[in-house]
Amino acid sequence: MNAKSFRDCKAWESEGLQLSTSSNEACKLYDAILSQYVTWRNDETLGGIEGCVASIKAADPDFVMGHVISTGLELVGTGSSVLHDERLASAVRKTLELANSQELTTREKNHVKAVELFSKGALHKACDLWECILADHPTDLLALKFAHDGFFYLGEQTLMRDSVARVMPHWKPQMPLYRQALMLTPEDGWSVHAVAHVHEMKAEMDKGLNFMASTEKDWMVCDILACHNYWHWALYHIEKGNYEAALKIFDEQVSQRCVKSGAMLDVVDACSLLYRLELEGVSVEERYRELLPVTQPHSEDHTLLFNDLHFLMVSLGSKDTVCTEKLLESLREQAKSPAENRQLLLAESVGLPMCQALLEFDQGNYSQAVELLQPIKQRFVQIGGSDAQRDVFSQLLIHAAMKSGEKEHQQMARHLLMERDAVRPNSPLTDRLMQRAHALHV
């Protein structure tokens, strides 16, 4: 391994972040994994995150924080569930067993407990523990990043902001990974991602398209985030009605990267992109079928309602009734005994109605879709994700209301479009929908 300037045992201890191992190599590898995680980049000179995870276990098989970061990263990736993945469940148990057999610091013990809670779906309790760690150790970047991801999945936007705000006074520019910790445009890929959100929410489509095109070669180095940035690029094209350009990005970038990585961020982006195009009247059925082998194995994971809804888009688009029913029935069943799982606790009131609305819309029952979505539209945020990602569900409600035969729903569609125009003025997509609503209703 290229050691670069990664921190050894003494360096971590001097920063007040003691790691319970005598292996300097393990400490440096921990730093290497953390660095790649927060920069959204697999550094091939280090063997990428996967290579470093294998190396850290070889350097010290009993290094608890090595297990915490490797197992924790897999959990926050939401690509597997301990309910259906015995290897992941075993990794969680191994982490707990090692922690119980050693003398650890309170900080390390809390990290272990947080990973256990996250594995059970108790995301809010896991975040509470990471915040507890940060109260005493505000420069613990792993706790900060895990808390940030957890709050993102919970749709807790204010807590995401406040978590970083609380630790800012304790971070100094000379500290390792300072810019990443405070999200001060840490890497080109993340910078582009942030600017893409700004242009999109301000409906600055031409600026967004030019910006993405001019920066592509810079943000490609952040390979973990590249697919998501291509997704943003495609959204600009959909907004402008450039459907062929959006399909080209899907075929050449999003789809291929999604299949190759299997990362949930890439997968849900691929699902969402096809669904948005379909709402616009573009035929994408064959592409749904090509994506189904990627989403179908996760139909019963139920790690996040956000993921479930996107998998459902694909099974519906592929006309796979068996996969659709399996997803819905297993979600209904698990929602009966949610235990500490925050997502399953929301399934009955938010997740299942949203899933049913997708099904009703697919079957042409537009008024039923509206009746399911309208009462909970202010709760969409609770499924997690960003405003840009959740916007597909707001669009779904508008389309359902426009197509409904109920006059009050048609009026609702016009009101929702006026709201959208006020928030995102000069949006070509909103203008098109307004024209369509006028043509349908007049």
Q: What is the pLDDT of residue 140?
A: 97
pLDDT tens across 368-377, in order? Answer: 999 999 999 9
pLDDT tens across 417-429, in order? Answer: 999 999 888 899 9
The Cα–Cα gap between 180 and 40 comes to 10
Average pLDDT of the segment spanning 304-323: 97
- Band the pLDDT of 236: cuts 50, 70, 90: very high
- Band the pLDDT of 2: cuts 50, 70, 90: very low
DSSP tally for the chain: helices H, then strands E: 25, 0
Q: What is the pLDDT of residue 205?
A: 73
pLDDT tens across 376-407, in order? Answer: 999 999 999 999 999 999 999 999 999 999 99
- What average pLDDT is seen over the chain? 92
Q: Which string of DSSP letters, residue by residue, matches 141-183?
A: HHHHHHHHHHHHHHT-HHHHHHHHHHHGGG--TTSTTHHHHTT
Q: What is the pLDDT of residue 189?
A: 63
Task: Give me the percent of the chain exceeding a pLDDT of 70.
Answer: 93
**159 pLDDT exceeds 80?**
yes
Q: What is the pLDDT of residue 441?
A: 79
Neighbouring CB atoms inside 10 A of 317's CB total 21
- Band the pLDDT of 212: cuts 50, 70, 90: confident
CA dihedral (370, 331, 280, 225) positive or negative: positive
Residue 20 buriedness (CB in 10 A; 0-12 / 13-18 / 19+): middle
**129 pLDDT exceeds 60?**
yes
pLDDT tens across 19-68, in order? Answer: 999 999 999 999 999 999 998 889 999 999 999 999 999 999 999 999 99
- Per-domain residue ranges of the chain: 9-181
This prediction's pTM: 0.93
**366 pLDDT exceeds 90?**
yes
Q: Which string of DSSP letters, residue by residue, matches 290-324?
A: HHHHHHGGGTTT-S-HHHHHHHHHHHHHTT-HHHH
- Which helix (DSSP H) or strand (DSSP E) does residue 97 occupy? helix 86-100
Instruction: Give the chain's length.
Output: 442
The Cα–Cα gap between 102 and 99 comes to 6
Q: What is the pLDDT of residue 195?
A: 65
- Band the pLDDT of 185: cuts 50, 70, 90: low
Average pLDDT of the segment spanning 199-220: 73
Q: Mapping DSSP to helix (H, G, I), strand (E, B) and coil, where does residue 264 land?
A: helix
Q: What is the pLDDT of residue 186?
A: 44
Inter-CA distances, 215 with 100, 198, 226, 229, Å: 48, 15, 12, 11
Q: What is the pLDDT of residue 1?
A: 43
